[in-house]
Amino acid sequence: MTPVLKITDLHKSFGDVKVLTGIDLTVQKGDVVSLIGSSGSGKTTLLRCVNLLEEFERGTIEIAGEAIGYREEGGRRRRLPERQIARQRAMTGMAFQQFNLFPHMTALKNVMLGLVKTKKLGQDEARAIAEKWLDRVGMIERKDHFPGQLSGGQQQRVAIARAIAMNPQLMLFDEVTSSLDPELVQEVLAVVRDLAADGMTMLIVTHEMRFARDVSTKVVFMDQGRIAEEGPPEAVFGAPKSERLAGFLANSEI
Amino acid sequence: MDYDFNFAVIWRNWDLLASGLGLGLFLAVVSIAIGCVIGLVAAFGMLSKHRVLRWLSLSYVSAIRNTPILVLILFTYFALPQLGVALEKIPSFILTLSLYAGAYLSEVFRAGLVAQPKGLREAGLAIGLTELKIRAYIIVPVMLRNVLPSLSNNFISLFKDTSLAAAIAVPDLTFYARKINVESFRVIETWMVASLIYVATCYAIAAVLRRLERRLAIPR
């Protein structure tokens, strides 16, 4: 079966700083893959490359068999035109650390925007889909509220609904609980758990180790721009092979 | 001070003053509307990653902002015809005030754009929107709501600037006030009433804009 995500030999630098140095990663349909590692290990950059929010210099990323972002043309590597990139971005959904809801739109309109403007659905159909997902994340009663009137946890749940309503093949979660007050973390994790249990394919960057252990089918430990260790959560958390991972886990709360 | 106030001549000519005020408001509304479009284009130009666009926008803004508006008005009306572009008084003034408004408004818009978190654009990208759609549905609407208070100040200044149209004999409020003054010699009365009309109008504009600000404010 064609994997949902196949990353081959991915390299990425910011100027002289090499951030990703040869990443290979495959995600099958229904997989929930957590990326863990210390700050600066390249987890978030990897996620942003998959959503084409970052450019990368070498390697390929395929989503459902389609190479994204670049094409070979007479031996030269070229970035695809914007329209095509936009279409490919919509194959993945992304939830951000800072939620990034559109502040001038209600929760409902936030979720509807992509459905209407990218997917070109009619208002009624878009509204129905948006309401279905807002209900799913427990936000249907607040659908007419503006982001500024919602708590961080509520905003994040709307942001997740906004991404998932687009029916992506793969959901990307970028430290979705890192900017939340501690008492709001669980309501967001519960939503992610619920979606994972439903078979949604996910790639999750997180600092919540207990959550990563519970929810993942595979855990990937990144260190200095490469994948240092990967495997099922029991193996990665239970019997770390490298000293780096053991050290990282010792310093994280489980 | 021994001065016999006599407002009779003003009351006799109220229709002139009213038509002058009406024309001034018309000039302001049209110029501000065009100026907003120019200002938005120039603001994005100044923030463009293309050097030529940046340079063009910056040159326009600094050229206009560093020239007195009266000189711009006289240049457009008297000098442009010599260069083959002859415009009637009113279109000539609208052209000048629009360009002038565009330069000042572009600074307001630019500040509003720079202040926006870049996450908004990324969230737009993530749901598959193109750059143009992101600007149209997210960046510009959010920016306009945020800069509305400083826009209001600019709008009021621009309305007052319409009084300079009298310099090229556009029949606005100031033009008629001067006419009444010259014909009646009621200097104090004429300019007092003209000033009061400007003050009252500016107050009214400010009140309308404040209501608009409240209606459009992003709810928190």
B106 and B46 Cβ atoms separated by less than 8 Å? yes
Q: Which of B129, B138, B218 sits opposite A118 (nearest CB)?
A: B129
- The strand ranges marked E within A69-162 are 70-73, 76-79, 92-95
- Tokens of residue A31, six digits: 């997989």
Q: Is residue B137 part of a domain?
A: yes
- Average pLDDT, stretch B30-40? 97
- C-alpha to C-alpha distance for B78 and B90, rounded to whole angstroms: 13
Residue of A45, A117, A162 to mutate when probing chain B, most B C-beta within 10 A: A117
Q: Across chain A, what does the average pLDDT equal?
A: 94
The total of structural domains in chain B comes to 1
Say yes or no: A80 contacts chain B, CB-CB below 8 A. Answer: no
DSSP state of B84: T
CB atoms within 10 A of CB B69: 17
Cβ(A105)–Cβ(B219) under 8 Å?
no
Taking contacts as CB-CB distances below 8 angstroms, the residues of chain A near B142 are: 102-104
The encoded tokens of residue A122 equal: 């009619």
Which residues of chain A from 152 to 211 reach within 8 Å of chain B, CB to CB? 159, 162-163, 166
**B106 inside domain:** yes
Chain A residues close to B131, C-beta within 8 Å: 82
Classify residue B104: in a domain, yes or no. Answer: yes
Q: Chain B contact for A118, CB < 8 A?
A: yes
Find out whether A160 and A153 touch, Cβ atoms under 8 Å: no
Domain contains B110: yes
Which has the closest alpha carbon to A189: A211, A173, A167? A211
Mean pLDDT along residues B35-42: 97
A86 part of contact set with chain B, CB < 8 Å:
yes
Render pLDDT for A21-36 as a digit per residue (tens, 0 to 9): 999 999 999 999 999 9
pLDDT score of A254 = 62
Residue B2 covered by a domain: no
Burial of A43 (0-12, 13-18, 19+ CB in 10 A): buried
Contact between chains at B218 and A148 (C-beta distance less than 8 A): yes
Of B127, B131, B219, the CB nearest to A166: B127
Cβ contact (<8 Å) for B126 and A51? Answer: yes
- Do the Cβ atoms of B125 and A146 come within 8 Å? no
pLDDT at residue number A44? 95
Reported as a pLDDT band with limits 50, 70 and 90, residue B220 is: confident
Q: Contact A1/A28 with Cβ under 8 angstroms?
A: yes
- Contact between B127 and A113 using a beta-carbon 8 Å cutoff: yes
Domain-located, residue B1:
no
A86 CB neighbours in chain B (<8 A) are: 125, 128-130
Q: Which amino acid, B61? A: V
Q: Which residues, in sequence order, are bridge partners of residue A8?
A: A60
Q: What's the burial of A20, exposed, middle or buried (CB within 10 Å: 0-12/13-18/19+)?
A: buried
Residue B148 to residue A185: CA distance in whole angstroms? 36
Asked whether the predicted pLDDT for residue B33 surpasses 90, the reply is yes
Q: Is residue B3 part of a domain?
A: no
pLDDT value at A246 more than 80 = yes
**Which of the four pLDDT bands, split at 50, 70 and 90, describes residue B8?**
confident
Q: How far apart are CA A81 and CA A86, in angstroms?
A: 9
CB A100 to CB B129 under 8 A? no
Closest listed residue to residue A228, CA positions, set A17, A24, A27, A78: A24
- Phi, psi (degrees; rounded to nearest 5) at B130: -80, 165
Q: Distance between CA atoms of B74 and B79, rounded to whole angstroms?
A: 7
Q: How confident is the model at residue A229 (pLDDT cuts 50, 70, 90)?
A: very high
CB contact under 8 A, B218 and A146: yes
Taking one residue from A and the other from B, the number of pairs with CB-CB distance under 8 angstroms is 77
CATH of the domain at B73: 1.10.3720.10
**Residue A83 contacts B where some CB pair is shorter than 8 Å:** yes
Q: Are B28 and B162 in contact (CB under 8 A)?
A: yes
Q: What are A71-130's pLDDT values in tens digits?
A: 988 888 999 999 999 999 999 999 999 999 999 999 999 999 999 999 999 999 999 999
Q: Is the pLDDT of residue B1 over 70?
A: no
Query: Quick check: is B208 in a domain?
Result: yes
Contacts of A63 in chain B (CB under 8 A): none
- pTM above 0.95? no
The CA distance from B128 to the nearest CA of chain A, in Å, is: 5
Provide the β-strand partners of residue A12: A20
User: A83 and B130: CB-CB below 8 Å?
Assistant: yes
Tens-digit pLDDT profile for residues B92-150: 999 999 999 999 999 999 999 999 999 999 999 999 999 999 999 999 999 999 999 99
Residue B61 to residue B103: CA distance in whole angstroms: 5
Task: Determine which of B118, B127, B131, B216 to mutate to test the interface with A (most A C-beta atoms within 10 Å).
Answer: B127
The reported pLDDT for the residue numbered A75 is 83
Contact at CB, A166 and B219, closer than 8 angstroms:
no
**Phi-psi region at B2: left, alpha or beta (left = phi > 0; alpha = psi -120 to 50):** beta
Q: What ipTM goes with this model?
A: 0.93
Kindly list the residues from chain B whose CB atom is less than 8 angstroms away from the CB atom of residue A113. Answer: 127, 129, 137
pLDDT tens digit sequence for A180-215? 998 899 999 999 999 999 999 999 999 999 999 999
- At a CB cut-off of 8 Å and minimum separation 6, what does A123 contact? A112, A116
> Going by DSSP bridges, is the β-strand pair A32-36/A202-205 parallel, antiparallel, or unpaired?
parallel
Domain hosting residue B41, numbered range: 8-216
Alpha helices in chain B (DSSP H): 8-12, 14-46, 51-65, 69-74, 89-114, 119-126, 131-134, 140-161, 173-184, 187-216
The shortest C-alpha distance from A242 to chain B (Å) reads 35
